[in-house]
Homo-oligomer: A and B are copies of this chain.
Amino acid sequence: MALADDVLRGEPLALARAISLVENGAPEGRALLDTLSPRAGKALRIGLTGPPGVGKSTTVDELSDLHRSRGEKVGVIAVDPTSPFTGGALLGDRVRMTKAAESDIFVRSMASRGVSGGLSRATQDAADLLDASGRTLILLETVGVGQSEIEISRAADVVIVMLSPESGDGVQAMKSGVLEIADLVAINKADRGGADRLEHDLRTAFELGLRSRKDVPILLTEANTGKGIPELAGAVDALVAARKQSGAFVERRKSNMESRLRRIAEFLLQTDLWESGDSRTRVRAAAERVLAGDQSPYQCARKLLEEALR
């Protein structure tokens, strides 16, 4: 496939087109992934989440620049679960795209509307494409609302949770459960008052409530000046190295892949299997049997599943 070859050569326009295809759940997108997913797996995938306004984009930019200067090829996927827009058409993206064009960093935003089968499926597919295209570092950025941060944690090797000393982020974070997915915490805007206090509170929360996470590194950053960013990158590197040593890195990839496979299977059921003409006829006949009192809904549903896959 010509498009697949162009993606493998790392051409940005081919990559952009390929991501659109997988985003829509199009058959061409799946054919592409069948070719390209086996070529993925080399890139490190870092998830980055936090409340709106905490400085995620700035941190992603700084991290991207840092790694690029070290010779890495960086790709960014910005996931906005609250936006109906998709495909890199946002103003913020255009600004970032300009910077990206100068620096060979590929930036893509994805939004939930119009994504078939869930943002998580599409995000992981897009990460595979970036990976196959030769990107060595993939940053997955999402605003921490609802489920999106859980999804990012299933797509990433390492998750950085960002908080700021402002506006009760810490309390919110403890209540929302986002700390449970944190492999590292970055307290951004550390120059504002309250960063030490927040660090102390988080430390206490990890010690008391989340003992399995009591060694989570907490870093202080000022993304808008770049202060603390090399230390954050270093902490990620150290964590990854330790996990590769212990086997935890591969273990997490496996468990992420397991949940990905289940989600894809459910997506295939919803799109391919239920939508075939045969299946529609069978579902309708089953509905009639249940309404006639001949069978129970659970018995019928089980049978439908079996028939759909025969």
Contacts and interface: CB of A to CB of B under 8 A. Distances in A.
A37 interface: yes
Interface string A259-279: 011101111111001100000
A100 to B, nearest CB: 27
B288 A37 contact: no
A283 B262 contact: yes
Interface stretch (A101-109, A191-199, A289-297): A289-297
Interface centre among A261, A286, A288 (most CB of B within 10 A): A261
A41 B296 CA distance: 12
A1 to B, nearest CB: 13
* A interface majority secondary structure: helix
B254 A297 contact: no
Q: How many chain copies?
A: 2
A157 to B, nearest CB: 12
A126 B309 CA distance: 29
Interface residues of A, number: 51
Interface of A: 30, 33-35, 37-39, 41, 124-125, 128, 250, 253-255, 257-258, 260-262, 264-270, 273-274, 283-284, 286-288, 290-291, 293-302, 304-306, 308-309
21 contacts: A33-B298, A37-B298, A38-B290, A38-B295, A125-B297, A250-B291, A253-B291, A257-B287, A257-B290, A257-B291, A258-B284, A261-B290, A262-B274, A265-B305, A265-B308, A266-B266, A267-B301, A268-B298, A268-B301, A268-B305, A305-B309
